[in-house]
Amino acid sequence: MITAKIESKSLLKGLIIWTILFAVIIFGFSAVYPQMHSSAMEDLLGAKLGGLSPALLKTFNISVNGQTSFLVATGFFGYYFQYMFLAASIYAMMLGSQALIKEETDGTIEFLYAQPVTRKGIVTSKFIGNLFILAAFWLISFGVSVGSTLLYRQSTDSVATITREISKIFMQESLILLFFLTLGFFVSTFLKSSKQSTSVSLGIVFGFYLIGIFSDLNDSFSWAKNISPTHMGIPSNLLDKGLSAGHVILLSILIVLFLGGTYMVYQRKDLIV
């Protein structure tokens, strides 16, 4: 547990920076929402969006009807938060992919390995520390999201509905963030340096994002949306249908496999000392 506490403290500065940036951007987007209720804006949306193809609107998850509409608080939140969730996925992936390799890159693995702790213990402590940081980031982001949406809500928006719908988004997306954290841990066992972490994390998350976009653009490629965690976590889809049982099972199995694979590979890895 001492290693987990040390790991959490070392990640505290990054957590503060990420949460402040998240909070500022969320409040900035939320402040735009009241402008959507002007009659001029409603007329503009109806005229402009009505001329776009349904496929294009679906690709960018734009809707002017129902609970996912721009004109209701949770729908507007869901639209802009899809891009915030993409950033959160990158953060989770980076936490995982840097967790194990940074000790070798920084030259501290020799000291750590000399302590009375096994490799299994190192992985467990690192995972607990990073999971704690990710959970803190997500809980703070949830509080900021609900608070800012309620602050700028209109008289037609229900407080109970906003709280319930945003809670639904965050609870389901938390499973996807856990997927990226464990995937990052597994990838970390193969990296040669922590300097590779950022580029690899960006490549994997944006790769999944592009797969989701292509699956919406091409019907023959629609099956691919079932292998894209970023597409599964699109807020408007979660508000409309929720995460399917099949996706929950698939993500849970992959989380267990990535975590188990991390223990196996790290146990046999030739550490750079």
List pLDDT tens digits, range 52-96: 666 666 666 666 666 667 778 888 898 899 999 999 999 999 999
Least confident interval from 35-39, 134-138, 170-174, 180-184: 35-39
pLDDT at 64: 63
| Averaged pLDDT of the chain | 86
- Percent of the chain at pLDDT above 90? 50
Which candidate, 125, 132, 113, places its Cα nearest to that of 178? 132
Measured CA to CA in angstroms, residue 165 lies from 56, 76, 147, 219 at distances of 25, 12, 13, 29
CA distance 30 to 186: 36
For residues 89-105, give the mean pLDDT.
90
Q: What does the block give as tokens for 254? A: 């992959």
pLDDT at 86: 94
CA distance 111 to 273: 9
SS3 of 55-67: the string is: HHHHHCCCCCCHH
Angle at 201 between CA 245 and CA 214, to 5 degrees: 55
Q: What is the pTM of this model?
A: 0.89
What's the chain's Rg over C-alpha atoms? 21
pLDDT at 155: 83
Q: Which of 23-37, 47-61, 126-140 has the highest mean pLDDT?
A: 126-140
pLDDT at 59: 66
pLDDT at 272: 65
For residues 205-233, give the mean pLDDT.
86
